[in-house]
Structure 1
Amino acid sequence: MKVGAGISAMAASLLLVASAAAQTRAPVDPSGEDTSSPNAAPILVTARLRPEDAQRVPGALSVVDGGLLDQSYTVNTQGLATLIPSLAYSSANPRNTAFTIRGLGSSVVAVSQANDGLEPGVGFYVDQVYHARPATAAFDFADIGQVEELRGPQGTLFGKNTTAGAISITTRKPSFTPEGVAELSYGSFNFVQAKAWVSGPISDTLAFRLSGVSTRRDGVLDNVRTGVAANTLGTQAVRGQLLYQPSAIFSLRLIADVTNFDAYCCTQVYLRVGQSLRPASRQYGGPAGLAAQFGYAPPSTDPYDRKTDIDGPLGVNTNEGGASAIADWKLGGHTLTSVSAWRFWNWDAENDRDYTGLPIQRSQHIPSRQDQFSQELRLASESERPLGYVVGLYGFHQRILGRPISIYGPAAAGWLIGPTTGTNAIPVPANLLDGYGQDGRTDFRSASVAAFGEANWRIAPRLTATAGLRYTYEEKDGSYATTVSGGPAVTSTALINARLSVLRPQRYTAHDRDGSVSGRANLAWQVRPSMMAYASVARGFKSGGLNMSGLPLDNQNQPVLATAVVRPERNTSYEIGLKTDWWGRRITFNIDGYYTRVRDFQATVVDSSQTVALRGYLSNIPAVTVKGIEADLSLRPLAGLAARASLAYADGRYSDYPAGPCPLEVQGTATTACSLTGQRLASLPRIAVTGGVDYALPIGRDAALLHVDVVGRSGFNGDPSLSRYTRIEGYTLTNASLGWRFGGGLEVVVFARNLFDTRYIQNLTIQAGNSGLILGTPGDPRVVGGTLRLRR
């Protein structure tokens, strides 16, 4: 279904049921909330690090509560993107994970295997703890109470580098009332998911909570060479908590968790072939092209046949976890909070990076280990009359050790270099790269300290001013060292240089330190009790980055040391908005408009001047601007019925990018950089719409349950070079479930993910070697199944 027709059909159907925003609570909450009245209770958020009504926060945000997460089978950040239109998620594999808000945040190019020296622009927090690596957002979460997406710079209060926004996830706390849920689902492709949590008192002052989720699914891509289906799922997550609450003025919450991802994953399939200006013999297609030279044909040229023939190893084995302690003291109208945390992340995966059945690249992977420590201390007032405030200190340290490994095979020389090399057309032996490879070590360390504060001053009964500042100081150190070995012995300078053009040993160190002030200010006018208007300006800061994936090469094939450090990113955002509710909060409507300009936007780009191997590295784009409008509408017309819809319109541009990467169609000339100034920002749909309906119809002691959620996104370009061959078409995706709740707490549900089996591409990759072959990851096909859920 084309996105225009899909979005129109979705909008028409939602208007029939009236719609609601991502802030709508699910009609039947697992926590046992009373839903007998259609009046919607205030949704409490901690966007300003203290509980308050979401409709009174002068800023754009979306809230998804645990009930909606459970009913929509959302267990990870990828699922969140189907509920929040301004949030986009891309993941070629768990390490190469990126999420953006309003088109800004992390930028990932698959060939880079993600750069450890780049900080994400979207802060990812779980129970107030910052997760430094975007890859950890690919893991499943267990037993979530609420998710808040905060749009725009959030650096005043949230720890690090939140130039684009923040995702704040809160898990359900231990309860002094015994409760428990067990859930088992089975569906297509042998999809099996088990979820459970149990909570209760240990004593009058101590309560516990234990939660877990396990998901597995067979592969959805058929490897015709091995007969083993690829892109399987295999995740497990366990979380344990203790809550010590000896009095009303003190509480201590201890949390420990571990998550594992072990799967035959992740590869891509043939999507299309692009045409460059290189000689016909150095391009993929055509009678003289590389595929013809090697007598190769892909198993299918239709990506939705879901066929691959990769001959190299494939697999992901990664895990992450940690422990934290959150202490709260109430001190005479104030709350003192301490958040201490340690987290780790282990990564190892292999992939056939040429994505074909030819032995071009035998192996590529980067075993990595990350450890981080953080400590936050803050003091918040409990009243805002006439002044409310939060002040605090924050410290963070992380270290990432990596080992980049690449090994080439017998077809690599002919595919990557060609039959001859050098100005004298020296013949290239067919086995020149067979067994040739790279091994290395990377070591990245960063430390950050910050002081922050924000105050709200009620300058008139209906007018409140907010101002906040944060000073952050960071230091980063990195070392990169690789060696090359293997392959047949050669003495010809031309052949040695040809081999080095594919992989060259590099050794360098880099250091960066910087300090900066970020902040925000706004005015909120409570026009009437059910209407608030606000205007704000915010300044965000993201510290400089280090290139930890190797450096681009100059005309002499030498590393360009000047690119080892990228400059800090600075973001200025303006926003106006209106928040309204009527009819006892059974209707809410919020709308905002924003304009954001980013100087020295940090991005991972590909050195397209290289005709042999594509290399991704960090770079600064002089200026990027994004402007747009967002609207949320919710309706709760009667008990048990809730509907929601949200719209995000964004116009993102490279407002100053005179020396960007060249698109495939102009590569092969002397031009090594192309102006992208004025062009649309990559990976940002102009229009994104989400919506859904939840209905619990009481029938005696039982209830019939209905859930539908829909997301539509317009097309966008999937690569920073903006080639016409790397466009991803828009799509509309629908998920639904129908169930029955028995009076004793048992639920039986039939569900469908991707109900209409929509064909869409999640992300794409230009094949290493720059042949013009474009690979893509097709979205998951329809999965139909059933769930048994028991609540106590």
Structure 2
Amino acid sequence: MHRSTKTATAAIALIWASLYAQTAFAETSENAGNSEAGGDVADNGNAPAAQDGEETSRGDVIIVTARRRQETAQEVPLAISVIRGDSVESTGNFNVVKLQQLAPTLQVYTSNPRNTAVNIRGLGVPYGLTSDGFEQGVGIYVDDVYNARVAAATFDFLDVEQVEVLRGPQGTLYGKNTTAGAINITTNQPTFDFEGRAEVTVGNLNFRQAKAAISGPLSDTIAARIAVATTSRRGTIFNVTSDRYINEQDNLGLRGTLLFQPNDDLSVTLSGDYSKQNPECCGTVFVRVGRTQRALARQYEALAAAQGYSVVSRNPFDRLTDIDASLNAGNKIGGASFKVKWDVGPGTFTSISAWRFWDWKPENDRDFTGLSIVAKSQNPSQQNQYSQEFRYNYSGDAIDFVVGVFGFKQRIDTQGVEQQGINASRWNLTGALANNPAVLNGLTALNTQYLKSTSAALFGQLSWKITDALTIQPGIRINYDKKEGFYQRRVVDGAGVEISCFNPAPPAGSIRAAQCGVYQPQLSAPSVSDWNFSYDLNVNYKLAEDVLAYATYAKSFKTVGINQNGLPTDAAGNPILAAGVIKPESVNHFEVGLKTQLWDRKATFNLAAFRTDIKNYQATVTNGQLGVLRGYLANAGKVRSQGLEADLKIRPSDRFSAYANAAYTDAKYVRFVDAPCPPELAGGTTATAANPPSPPGTAGGFSPANCDISGQRLPGVSKWAISYGAEVNTPLTLFATEGQLYVGFDGNYRSGFSSNPSPSIYTNIEGYALSNYRVGFRSDNFEIYGWVRNVFDVNYFELLQVAPSNVGLVAGQLGDPRTVGATVKLSF
């Protein structure tokens, strides 16, 4: 847990005595205007804020970097949510996973840092086990640097200025192509005025969080900034087997930045960051058992009884588990970037060179029980990525444009170990072999794999102001991708003898045949390259000074993929090589929107309607058998996501503000005729013309080889998602310090959603609403407040998972219970 490191970091934060005390009610338009050029301005539908001086009476002005140039939020003709750093802190949303509580169209699901899905409007990456062989649909950018691994989403925000969530394809403005949207994170930059800030938070569950940053000049032309953040918390589930709490938090992050600015036309920035996590994570709790089509004696209840096993609790919200395998989510991520910005003539040239690494050391309990069925499940991997982007921005009276080139190279190496335990034979075999633990005990699959990925692109977008009111914005992207993979699985038995399952195949009913039914050796080396051309067109019209209407069409793609975790096999056990390559997705996106400011800009109301159609959708296909093939990619015929989004923010005075954001999302498979079957239709003898599929949940029945789930909802997407909040304050002098006493509230609601790639009656998650409160005092350089999150202690699931082997066991990951605490901030 590295408690000593965390204590030392907190002490450093206090010694620095620095804090960022600008809150959502005290941010000035002058500060917002100091955002780095090359970005967009977006409206803040999520975080109410006030401006000092003249702007206060006319609402706030927020500068963003979404379109690679400075402009206000309401001038940006696309759907975008902006959450400023102070609002991120005050609402307790300290990473992307938490951020979805403020941005309703953002969905983040994580069973561990590697198996994390970040989606917008239900699109982005397929739901289920992550494969290295495909790209993200939602790009995560930190200071213009693309983060290829979604594990970055699980780390704490570090000295963040603001976060922009852009919805819809962004490939003509960003280095790496993104088909569903982008999360653009901007950190605070070095200053030539000395400043510092620090904050310390304590709460129940032994929650401890400390953040600090210090910035200032080293000379007339060089400035530096150093930031540190640390978070620790006791786990929320008690494991009776290990006699300790699991699913804890244990994060440490460091960032350093040097700025060289010899004149107003040139700036050179060198940044480096390092973050690590080392929690005992990520375990599950028993949720329920559902009837599958496996023989009744081979389903969960009968198998558990035959081995004298009883789960510690059948009520998941007792927060008890008895999983027996070791757990770890060791996670290190970091890198360095070198950025040059040079005003050349009428435009700005920008170069961003970056290197990033990711080191992942997991240990999991893949059977979700206190039995030793899967004794080990460990797939550590190491990634290095290099990227280079050149971009030129031009702004004129009638024409603005951005043109850029992007290069990306990545390598990922993985060394996997999966091992069967002493209870595996009874769980997976039949007859006399099921009563012999030695058949499978110690059977081990050793997986070695690597991925080499190369990408290059030319992109650009033109903004032509035909009149003062009418603007047309076309954009194009030309993209090249190449992927080379290698996968080898070697299998050894409990005696350490390497086994072969082919040429010749072992006799049916033999011990070796039983072992080959669980782990089979395999070798594959898929390779593919592909060119893509995509484009978009935006037309926007100013109906009035504060009313902007826009319409967008985008033809986009997600690049070709490969199956990197092994391939499905034919009847003879040979890998199906044709399944090694996954077709690129073809995306057609339509969107119309209206952005308005009313009541002398004291109210903002934005509305967007969208439809996205994707052909050859890259879906995750899972296999119910232990160890044979955990998951692979395949193309679904077509999916569609459509819906409406509305953002409302009001600030009638300096003393009150409120916001409400709502999203209706209808996301479904339009055509997916050969999908994996849900558990209630899996596990039985494969159906034939003479023996058609049995009704769902028929023990010992006939199961279809695959299922047609056309027309069913995509997993992880709530039809309705709403976030809302308000804050009221009054002047107060405390200890001779003038400031404000304030009370704030924020909440969110999500309707029910499916938690399985193929919708199942056993994995639907009911809707829930969460409410958070805070009350405190703030001044220009000091703030103290108390907070309660999930104030009504709502019980809810973040994720449900179906156990392997079609035994009907469903395990889950729980949302946080009620948490309470206090935060102190200082600044100078």
Q: 1:446 aligns with which of 444, 453, 459?
A: 453
Higher RCO (CA-CA < 8 Å; seq separation 6+):
1
CA contact (8 A) 2:626 2:804 kept: no
Q: 1:731 aligns with which of 765, 768, 776?
A: 768
Unaligned stretches of 5+ in structure 2? 1-41, 500-505, 687-703
Q: Distance in 2 between matches of 1:500 and 1:183?
A: 56
2:523 pairs with 1:516: no
Q: 1:116 aligns with which of 112, 117, 132?
A: 132
Q: 2:639 aligns with which of 602, 621, 624?
A: 624
Q: Give the residue type in structure 1 aligned to 2:104.
A: P
Q: 2:65 aligns with which of 16, 25, 46?
A: 46
2:262 pairs with 1:246: yes
CA contact (8 A) 1:123 1:167 kept: yes
Unaligned stretches of 5+ in structure 1? 1-19, 421-425
2:741 maps to which residue?
Answer: 704
Q: Distance in 1 between matches of 2:269 and 2:599?
A: 38
Q: Distance in 2 between matches of 1:23 and 1:339?
A: 30
1:753 maps to which residue?
Answer: 789
Q: Give the residue type in structure 1 aligned to 2:756.
A: D
CA contact (8 A) 1:28 1:640 kept: no
Look up the SS of the partner of 1:292 in the other structure.
helix
Q: Give the residue type in structure 2 aligned to 1:153.
A: P
Report the CA distance shift for 1:38/1:770 in structure 2 as closer, same or farther (over 3 A): farther
CA contact (8 A) 1:96 1:108 kept: no
Q: Distance in 1 between matches of 2:304 and 2:44?
A: 48
Q: Give the residue type in structure 2 aligned to 1:408.
A: Q
2:712 maps to which residue?
Answer: 679
CA contact (8 A) 1:270 1:300 kept: yes
2:361 maps to which residue?
Answer: 348
2:479 pairs with 1:472: yes
Q: Distance in 2 between matches of 1:157 and 1:36?
A: 30
2:352 pairs with 1:316: no
CA contact (8 A) 2:418 2:627 kept: no
**Alignment TM-score, normalising by the size of structure 2:** 0.89
Q: Distance in 2 between matches of 1:702 and 1:467?
A: 48
1:740 maps to which residue?
Answer: 777
CA contact (8 A) 1:614 1:770 kept: no
Q: Distance in 1 between matches of 2:390 and 2:311?
A: 57
Please list the CA deviations of residues 154-188 of structure 1 after superposition, one character each: whole Å capped at 9, or x if unmatched.
11111223111111100011111221111111111
Structure 1 residue 613: deviation in Å?
5.3
Report the CA distance shift for 1:713/1:614 in structure 2 as closer, same or farther (over 3 A): farther
CA contact (8 A) 1:370 1:400 kept: yes
Q: Distance in 2 between matches of 1:303 and 1:373?
A: 43
1:107 maps to which residue?
Answer: 126
Structure 1 residue 752: deviation in Å?
1.4
Q: Give the residue type in structure 1 aligned to 2:45.
A: Q
CA contact (8 A) 2:127 2:756 kept: no
Structure 1 residue 417: deviation in Å?
2.1
CA contact (8 A) 1:182 1:195 kept: yes
1:362 maps to which residue?
Answer: 375
2:598 pairs with 1:582: yes
Structure 1 residue 492: deviation in Å?
5.5
Structure 1 residue 528: deviation in Å?
0.7
Look up the SS of the partner of 1:98 in the other structure.
strand
Following TM superposition, the consecutive aligned residue runs of length 4 or more in structure 1 with deviations greater than 4 angstroms are 33-36, 488-493, 610-614
Q: Give the residue type in structure 2 aligned to 1:239.
A: R
Q: 2:45 aligns with which of 5, 16, 23?
A: 23
Look up the SS of the partner of 1:266 in the other structure.
coil
Q: 1:406 aligns with which of 414, 418, 424?
A: 418
Q: Distance in 2 between matches of 1:214 and 1:225?
A: 29
Please list the CA deviations of residues 763-792 of structure 1 after superposition, one character each: whole Å capped at 9, or x if unmatched.
111112221100000101111111111111
Structure 1 residue 329: deviation in Å?
0.6
Report the CA distance shift for 1:35/1:65 in structure 2 as closer, same or farther (over 3 A): farther
1:10 maps to which residue?
Answer: none
Q: What pairs up with 1:589-600 in 2 under 5 angstroms?
A: 589-600=605-616
Q: Distance in 1 between matches of 2:230 and 2:409?
A: 31
CA contact (8 A) 1:553 1:560 kept: yes
Structure 1 residue 290: deviation in Å?
1.0
**Alignment TM-score, normalising by the size of structure 1:** 0.93
Q: Distance in 1 between matches of 2:261 and 2:761?
A: 60
Q: Which moved more, 1:39-48 or 1:115-124?
A: 39-48
How many residue pairs get aligned? The number is 756
1:378 maps to which residue?
Answer: 391
Q: Distance in 1 between matches of 2:192 and 2:48?
A: 24
Report the CA distance shift for 1:35/1:174 in structure 2 as closer, same or farther (over 3 A): farther
Q: Which moved more, 1:614-623 or 1:182-191?
A: 614-623
Please list the CA deviations of residues 39-87 of structure 1 after superposition, one character each: whole Å capped at 9, or x if unmatched.
3232112221111111111111111111211211222101210100000
CA contact (8 A) 1:611 1:770 kept: no
Please list the CA deviations of residues 198-225 of structure 1 after superposition, one character each: whole Å capped at 9, or x if unmatched.
1111112111111111000111101112
Structure 1 residue 396: deviation in Å?
0.4
Structure 1 residue 627: deviation in Å?
0.7
Q: Distance in 2 between matches of 1:34 and 1:643?
A: 20
Q: Distance in 2 between matches of 1:448 and 1:568?
A: 14
1:13 maps to which residue?
Answer: none
Between the aligned residues of both structures, percent identity stands at: 41
Look up the SS of the partner of 2:182 in the other structure.
strand
2:678 pairs with 1:663: yes
Look up the SS of the partner of 1:769 in the other structure.
helix
Q: What pairs up with 1:412-451 in 2 under 5 angstroms?
A: 412-420=424-432, 429-451=436-458
Structure 1 residue 355: deviation in Å?
1.5
Report the CA distance shift for 1:336/1:626 in structure 2 as closer, same or farther (over 3 A): same
Structure 1 residue 614: deviation in Å?
6.2
Structure 1 residue 710: deviation in Å?
0.8
Q: Give the residue type in structure 2 aligned to 1:788.
A: V
Q: Distance in 2 between matches of 1:625 and 1:241?
A: 42
CA contact (8 A) 2:671 2:710 kept: yes
Structure 1 residue 731: deviation in Å?
0.7
Report the CA distance shift for 1:267/1:163 in structure 2 as closer, same or farther (over 3 A): same
Q: Distance in 2 between matches of 1:70 and 1:262?
A: 23
2:94 maps to which residue?
Answer: 75
Q: 2:516 aligns with which of 500, 521, 524?
A: 500
Q: 2:172 aligns with which of 153, 156, 170?
A: 156
Report the CA distance shift for 1:427/1:370 in structure 2 as closer, same or farther (over 3 A): closer
2:342 pairs with 1:326: no
Q: Distance in 1 between matches of 2:148 and 2:228?
A: 23
CA contact (8 A) 2:48 2:658 kept: no
Structure 1 residue 406: deviation in Å?
0.5
Q: Distance in 2 between matches of 1:180 and 1:696?
A: 26
2:726 maps to which residue?
Answer: 693
CA contact (8 A) 1:612 1:769 kept: no
Q: Distance in 2 between matches of 1:326 and 1:35?
A: 35
1:11 maps to which residue?
Answer: none
Structure 1 residue 669: deviation in Å?
4.1
CA contact (8 A) 1:72 1:707 kept: no
CA contact (8 A) 2:555 2:587 kept: yes
Q: Distance in 1 between matches of 2:309 and 2:755?
A: 26
Look up the SS of the partner of 1:37 in the other structure.
helix
Q: Distance in 2 between matches of 1:122 and 1:628?
A: 18
Q: Which moved more, 1:581-590 or 1:260-269?
A: 581-590
Q: 1:634 aligns with which of 649, 652, 670?
A: 649
Q: Distance in 1 between matches of 2:424 and 2:779?
A: 62
CA contact (8 A) 1:27 1:695 kept: no
Report the CA distance shift for 1:396/1:612 in structure 2 as closer, same or farther (over 3 A): closer
1:271 maps to which residue?
Answer: 287
2:24 maps to which residue?
Answer: none
Q: Distance in 2 between matches of 1:108 and 1:192?
A: 32
Q: 2:250 aligns with which of 234, 240, 247?
A: 234
Structure 1 residue 544: deviation in Å?
1.1
Q: Distance in 2 between matches of 1:216 and 1:374?
A: 32
2:293 pairs with 1:293: no
Report the CA distance shift for 1:445/1:323 in structure 2 as closer, same or farther (over 3 A): same
